[in-house]
Amino acid sequence: MMSSVHLNRLPQHVAIIMDGNGRWAKRRGLPRLAGHKQGATNAQRVVEIFTEYGISYLTLYAFSTENWNRPQAEVNGLLQLLEKKLDEGVKLAQEKGIKIRHLGKLDGLSPEIQHRIKQALELTQNNTGMTISLAFNYGGRDEIVEVMRRLILSGIPAQKIDESIVSQYLYTAGIPDPDLIIRTGGESRLSNFLTWQAAYAEIYFTPVLWPDFDRREIDKALIFYRQRQRRFGSVAPE
Ligand code: FPP
């Protein structure tokens, strides 16, 4: 049931660091990959809830440029999971009018995964509902370095470069900065996520492990956001 909490002062863009899958599995005596599977199932559930609440932009951190350092079996498992979830995700996206975007480097991913990502973007590009950005093979510093390269290659004169131009060269071009960043799993850091875009975001840390992050926990995060907005209400535009 939708509570009244969601009817006003909702963030337009929510970005999530989905942490704690490994510990969720370990606590049940399961392999880490079982945690990621449950995490992926939860990502789907969370997408449905945010669609219901009318959030316009949702960004999910699924794989960082640092995640390649994990054991090979876990990396392979995460890549396989992505392939499978992309197929299911496109179906769900078409049903709900969701547009899928990718944040990160395609280089370094297998041709098969690159193809599937490109296909997911193409098939959903004209959808007009929520935009879901999947950060996969993404790093915030890497993104800024990439912007510098692109700016130099484009030949824009140095004196013309400003914040608005940089924003247009980010992976998130055209997407407003996140209003609320949620990190599950108990750590209080951003871990190279949306380094440029996070400048003014409210940040919500919760010890809840990602597979357990359900509607009730979403509501808590949205209440936190609403309260933060209220505190600065006198200066925030209505
Ligand atoms: C962090 O948990 C989670 C990840 C590195 C991967 C997140 C991936 C998913 C939720 C599944 C893929 C989702 C999609 C939408 C394709 P952790 O392994 O760091 O957990 P721990 O801190 O308990 O070890």
Written as six digits, the tokens of 157 are: 């004169």
- Please indicate, yes or no, if residue 214 is contained in any of the structural domains: yes
Ligand 1 pocket residues where CB is under 6 Å:
18-23, 36, 39-40, 43, 60, 62, 67, 81-82, 85, 185, 210
Ligand 1 pocket: which of 16, 36, 189 to mutate (most atoms within 8 A of CB): 36
CB-count exposure of residue 105 (10 Å: 0-12, 13-18, 19+): middle
Confidence of residue 234 (pLDDT cuts 50, 70, 90): low
The answer to whether the beta carbons of residues 178 and 194 sit under 8 Å apart is yes
pLDDT at 53: 96
Q: Is residue 83 situated within a structural domain?
A: yes
> Which atom of ligand 1 is found nearest the CA of 23?
23
Distance CA 148, CA 170 (A): 10
CATH code assigned at 20: 3.40.1180.10
The token duo for 178 is 């996140």
pLDDT score at 236: 53
Query: Is residue 171, in this structure, part of any structural domain at all?
Result: no
The number of angstroms, rounded, from the C-alpha of 178 to the middle of its chain's C-alpha atoms is: 10
What is the pTM for the complete model shown?
Answer: 0.93
On whether residue 238 sits in a domain, the answer given is no
33, part of any domain: yes
191: phi > 0 → left, psi -120 to 50 → alpha, else beta; which? left
Measured N-to-C along each axis, helices 72-96 and 111-124 cross at an angle, to the nearest 10 degrees, of 20
Domain count, the chain: 1
CA of 157 to the centre of ligand 1 (A): 41
pLDDT at 4 over 50: no
Structure confidence at residue 8 (pLDDT)? 74
Please tell me the distance from the alpha carbon of residue 144 to that of residue 232, in angstroms, as a whole number. Answer: 30
Expressed as residue numbers, the domain containing 134 is: 13-138+178-227
Please write the tens of the pLDDT for every residue from 38-59. 999 999 999 999 999 999 999 9
- Specify if 99 maps to a domain: yes
What percent of the chain shows pLDDT beyond 90? 91
Task: Establish if 173 belongs to a structural domain.
Answer: no
Hey, what amino acid is at 92? L
pLDDT at 9 (0 to 100): 87
Q: Tell me, yes or no, whether 218 lies in a domain.
A: yes
Asked which of 1-10, 61-70, 149-158, 187-196 is least confident by mean pLDDT, the reply is: 1-10
